[in-house]
């Protein structure tokens, strides 16, 4: 049975911050973890600090064709990916009237389109094998319920990611679960040194969702393992 096998997880942006904490947590649980980073050298450096089966892989989310080529190369060596954690993201400051088209396009590409591409590439095998876990790192800033109060391009792209999560959950079988999370305000390069949470705390819910049992939830938006409003 698959639950008795070592599982393989792919984590984007796994070389620092919340992503690194997710990699560490999954490796500690016995997963084989593919640590994705834009620069392979950064991934190798991060992987060298983690105990467990952690393999750095190169993933450039900014370009669709490059990303697809990189994923195909990864699948040739690691064809069975059980969990996908779409952690990588970028934050562009300014209102929609202040930022330029390139900033908006980059935010949409990295925060929304790249997770969509990865999901499309990896879910067919998950469906065929009858097991998969997809975790999308979103934000309260991308929540209509919380007012979409963050920087505009970031808020719009994370709201789109949430919409992708909910829509996808209606198409996937129950054996392949997809959920969004808000990790809270975390001390990372993006969150800043004054943030209230450690990367390890921010990673807890993502690790939980990446390792859900068969009767676990799908199609939800979570903070601290509790449902929050879209």
CA distance 38 to 103: 18
Q: Are 48 and 23 in contact (CB under 8 A)?
A: no
Q: Are 111 and 165 in contact (CB under 8 A)?
A: no
Burial class (CB in 10 A: 0-12, 13-18, 19+), 139: buried
| Number of neighbours of residue 210 by Cβ within 10 angstroms | 26
Q: Which of 78, 93, 131, 154 is catalytic?
A: 154
Q: 152 CB contacts (<8 Å, ≥6 apart)?
A: 94, 95, 96, 99
Q: Is 131 a catalytic residue?
A: no
Burial class (CB in 10 A: 0-12, 13-18, 19+), 217: middle
Angle between helix 17-28 and helix 199-210 axes, rounded to 10 deg: 50
Q: 117 CB contacts (<8 Å, ≥6 apart)?
A: 64, 67, 68, 71
Q: Which residues are catalytic?
A: 154
């Amino acid at each position: 049975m698959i639950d008795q096998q070592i599982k393989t997880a792919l984590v984007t942006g796994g070389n620092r911050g919340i992503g690194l904490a997710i990699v560490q947590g999954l490796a500690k649980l016995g997963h084989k973890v593919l640590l994705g980073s834009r620069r392979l050298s950064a991934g190798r450096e991060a992987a060298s600090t983690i105990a467990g089966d952690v393999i750095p892989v190169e993933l450039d989310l900014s370009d669709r064709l490059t990303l697809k080529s990189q994923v195909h190369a990864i699948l040739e060596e690691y064809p069975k990916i059980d969990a996908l954690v779409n952690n990588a993201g970028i934050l562009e400051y300014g209102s929609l009237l202040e930022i330029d088209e390139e900033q908006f396009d980059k935010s949409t590409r990295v925060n929304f389109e790249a997770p969509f591409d990865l999901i499309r590439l990896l879910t067919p095998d998950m469906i065929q094998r009858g097991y998969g876990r997809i975790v999308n790192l979103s934000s309260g800033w991308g929540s209509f319920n919380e007012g979409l109060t963050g920087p505009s391009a970031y808020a719009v792209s994370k709201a789109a990611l949430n919409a992708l999560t909910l829509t996808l959950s209606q198409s996937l079988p129950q054996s392949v679960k997809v959920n969004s999370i808000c990790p809270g305000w975390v001390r990372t390069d993006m969150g800043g040194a004054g943030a209230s949470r450690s990367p390890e705390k921010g990673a807890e819910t993502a690790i939980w969702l990446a390792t859900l049992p068969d009767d676990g939830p799908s199609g939800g938006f979570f903070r601290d393992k509790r449902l929050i409003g879209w």
